[in-house]
Amino acid sequence: MRETIAAPTPGLDLSHHYGHHQAAAIRAGGLIFCSGMVAVNPETGEREHGTVTSETGRIFENLKLLLESAGSSLDRLVQVHAMIYDRIEYDVLNRVYRQFVPNAPPARTVMSVQIEAGFKVMLDVIAAA
């Protein structure tokens, strides 16, 4: 059973705003696979470039909206690829990150990659449904 999870708010429909040919998330086999999430305004879809701290905070808030609309939650995250523009901000990332997953955090790999639109952070996550 493969089910497309629609963006819960208009701003999170990145396919519509930016031509990203992707579902916001897919539920299958008891898991929820989310497309890479970046710091956009969940109502307007406007890009919110900022610091690693502000972008990460916005991303987690967007993921919360998305996962909760699908019956899941941040504490059911199982795997995160924490994509960052430069590993030098690793400690900054950790400080804000831990606030959102304080207990039994998901498995994580931090990956320094080139992210779309010059964003500093992108989170690529899988959650339990």
Partner 1 sequence: MPLATAIRAGDFVFVSGVVAIDPASGERMHGTVAAETRQILTAIAAVLEATGSSLAKAVKVNVLIYSMLEYNNMNEVYREFFPEEPPARTVCGAGLSGGSKVEIECVALA
Partner 2 sequence: MSRLSRTVIEPVNPKLNVSRNANLPHSPGIRVGGYIFLSGMGPVDPATGGRNLGPIAEQIRQTLRNMGHMLESAGSSLGRIVKITIVLADIEDYDEMNRVWREFFPADPPARTTCALQLSNGNGVEIECIALAE
- Residues of this chain that interact with partner 1 (CB under 8 A) are 1-2, 4, 15, 19-26, 28-30, 33-36, 81, 83, 111, 113-116, 122, 124, 126
If the CB atoms of residues 70 and 74 are measured against partner 1, the closer one turns out to be 70
Residues in Cβ contact with 68 at an 8 Å cutoff, skipping those fewer than 6 apart: 8
If the CB atoms of residues 60 and 103 are measured against partner 1, the closer one turns out to be 60
Based on the number of CB atoms within 10 Å of its own CB, is 45 exposed (0-12), middle (13-18) or buried (19 or more)?
middle
109 binds, among partner 1, partner 2, none (CB under 5 to 8 A by kind): partner 2
115 binds, among partner 2, partner 1, none (CB under 5 to 8 A by kind): partner 1
If the CB atoms of residues 84 and 102 are measured against partner 1, the closer one turns out to be 84
Distance between CA 63 and CA 36 in Å, rounded?
Answer: 10
CA atoms 97, 125, 14, 2: torsion sign: negative
Cβ pair 121, 56 in contact under 8 A: yes
Q: Which positions lie near partner 2, rule CB under 8 A?
A: 1, 29-31, 76, 78-80, 86-87, 90, 94, 97-98, 101, 104-113, 126, 128-129
